[in-house]
Chain A
Amino acid sequence: MIFTNPLWLYLMPLALVPFFLALQKQDGYPALQFVPLDRLSQGVTWALRTAGAVAIGGLVLGVSGIALRERVIQRFGQGAHIVLLIDRSSSMNDTFAGRQPSGEEESKSAAAKRLLKDFVIERKHDRFGVAEFSTAPMHVVPITDHKGIVLNAIDAIDRPGLAFTDVGRGLGMGLSMIDEDVLPGSRAIVLVSDGVAVVGRRVQESLRTEFARRPVHLYFLYLRTEGSNSMFATPPPGAEDTPQALPERHLNIFFESLRIPYHAYEAENAEAVKAAIADIGKLEQTPIVYTERTPQYDLSRWAYALAAIALALLLAAKLCARTLKPSWGNAHVS
């Protein structure tokens, strides 16, 4: 219970006024000794005094802005804390067919944007963070339960990006964001990329130790451009099988060697991306503590309504009152 204008509460003592002053016009009567004690009349008197107090009190409470405080309730649900690690290299702005997007086809980043936003909106209990990587890793939005800013960050992913794809440092950024977050729950990194560069030996080693330090699930969503190498296919004998020639395949091998829960998806069109995201959603269903906000609720209208009812009572009592004075004409002398 809070008051938005608490200074008005200084008027609260006015609620005692009905106990000292009468609302009805008082008529004189020579002596009350002969009138028998009437419990009903006394009850009515006190009821009217109370009604007056309620009316004044209700109005004062309403004016001082009585409200229920915003509450944050912790609940248990199913979900995860998810860092979306998104590639912002300029090739993401091409279509899945590797062309500049024309009117009909959407670019990889536009498809990723649309589907990731749906995913964020759908997952009610999850907390999301956004990190991006291109030539350098970018700390965008820390893991948060404010969906609005996460959606606005995803909105920005089809803006012109930078030239290169430094996935190693991007993963480092994602992991550090997970470290910053303190709430209990399962954590996941969803890496969305359309092709990566070689992750250097030293970066690989430090990532290996970083991943070993904490439980984290990794999902690699590879938006494959038509005709480029698949990360699952083994190259034909004789073909070059080095990280430089097939970086995605070797990144996949590296992730598999990390001994963490890891899933790789290869998507060549928007439907495949959608299926992969749905699958990630299904897998990330561990118990999680999430917060639910009950917004501040304004009670002043209820206070005014209560005051209005009390006032109606007083008015009814006033209309029932009859004077002892004779009035001209058709008098109610009773």
Chain B
Amino acid sequence: MTVFGITLDRRTLLLVASLLMAIGAAIGFHLIRNQRIADVLAVIDITGSMNARDMGDPKGSQDRLEAAKSALVNFMQDVPCESRLGLGVFSERISYLLFEPAEICNNYDAMEAAIAGLDWRMAWEGDSYIAKGLYSAIEIASSLKSDLIFMTDGQEAPPTPLSGIPEFDGKPAAVKGIIVGVGGSEKIPIPKFDDEGRQIGVYSETDVPQENRVGPPPKDAETREGYNPRNAPFGAMPATGDEQLTSVKTAHLEDLARITGLHYAELQHVGALAPPLKAATEPRLLPVNTDMSYVPAIFALALLLATYALSLVEAAPFSRLGRLRNFRLTPHHREGNLLHAS
């Protein structure tokens, strides 16, 4: 076939196609793809019970705070770049925002150091009203329009009032995310520290409030010893219990998750935070520009190699096979095979 005086044989066509593909690759061939990223505020409980050592492998090699911190660092490695992570701490009754969600990959080492810098010494009060802390974390997350990871052991101090969990006045499930229960299921003592931060044993039964006597007394108060409606509505005996021991309060945290519309995951079972968060949240899609230039480039390469390979397929002139095949003592050949060689 001849176009404009150019003979378009197989080689020319292959070369033209290869050249066009290579030019296409050089210009760039991009595909916009939606990638699911995370945009999440992580709030870590830094109250005293988080110092209990019942996490890690083997159990007891890490305290709960360390386990929560390393789970968060692993989470940073599990999510794709362009994901955003903010950090807050919880103590007393509110969550305190340290920094708003920032892009993870660009700020990785600073963010890792910020997480490593979290310390129970930053806690401003010994109390731990987890429900209220969770509600305030939800409020912060909703103002940041991000999802929430709330990491706590669920150990309320003082204990939840007998009237039950304080009311949640937000809209359930408006903020999506997970409550992560940190800690083991067996009750263990909580370490006690002095003013200089040295451990001086563990909390004993009389060190911590065993019963929350704020609010109305329980229904069965009349049966308590020394009950007096006016002078001793909670009974006359000091409350006893094992609030000085701690384990992850699964039932309480599941209740909180139900009230707030979050999901519940237990760190000792799930291991990583990214999968439960992914299951609990709506996908946040971010168009990601993916360079697909390699596709035309591979085609260009294949076409060029095919052009070279043609000389293998087509019998070469004067190859033994060709010569034998053409060996006819015809007048035509005696003239010389200059013109009809192959």
Contacts and interface: CB of A to CB of B under 8 A. Distances in A.
Contacts of B94: 160, 162
A92 interface: no
Interface string B1-40: 0000010010110011011001101101000000000000
B340 interface: yes
A28 interface: yes
A101 B183 CA distance: 43
Interface in B289-342: 291, 293-294, 297-298, 300-301, 304-305, 307-312, 314, 316-318, 322, 336-342
Nearest to B108: A146
Interface stretch (B75-83, B111-119, B216-224, B274-282): B111-119
Contacts of B114: 139-142, 149
Given A136-B121, A311-B22, A23 B110 contact: no
B12 A319 contact: yes
Contacts of A308: 19, 22-23, 25-26
A50 interface: no
Given A17-B308, A308-B19, A156 B9 contact: no
A284 B12 CA distance: 68
Contacts, number: 195
- For B97, B119, B309, the residue with the greatest tally of chain A CB atoms inside 10 Å of its CB is B97
A319 B6 contact: yes
A315 interface: yes
Contacts of B12: 315, 318-319
B339 A325 contact: yes
B19 A146 contact: no
B339 A21 contact: no
A235 interface: no
Interface of A: 5, 11, 14, 17-18, 21-30, 52, 55-56, 58-60, 62-63, 65, 88, 130, 132, 134-142, 144, 146, 148-150, 152-153, 155-156, 159-162, 298, 300-301, 304-305, 307-308, 311-312, 314-315, 318-319, 324-326, 333
A326 B339 CA distance: 7
Interface stretch (B98-106, B225-233, B253-261): B98-106
Contacts of A318: 11-12, 15
Nearest to A151: B102
A56 B301 contact: yes
B300 A301 contact: no
Contacts of B9: 25
The 4 closest A-B pairs by CB, nearest first: A28-B341, A28-B317, A139-B117, A135-B124
A164 B121 CA distance: 16
B123 interface: yes
Contact of B122 (A29, A139, A146): A139
A25 B314 contact: yes
A149 B111 contact: yes
A118 B309 CA distance: 63
Nearest to B123: A136
Contacts of A130: 99
B266 to A, nearest CB: 28
10 contacts: A17-B308, A26-B311, A28-B337, A52-B308, A140-B99, A300-B293, A307-B300, A308-B23, A311-B300, A314-B15
Contacts of A138: 89, 96, 98, 122
A198 B293 CA distance: 65
Contact of B99 (A60, A88, A141, A301): A141
A82 to B, nearest CB: 14
Nearest to B103: A148
B98 A156 contact: yes
B165 to A, nearest CB: 22
Contacts of B109: 144, 146
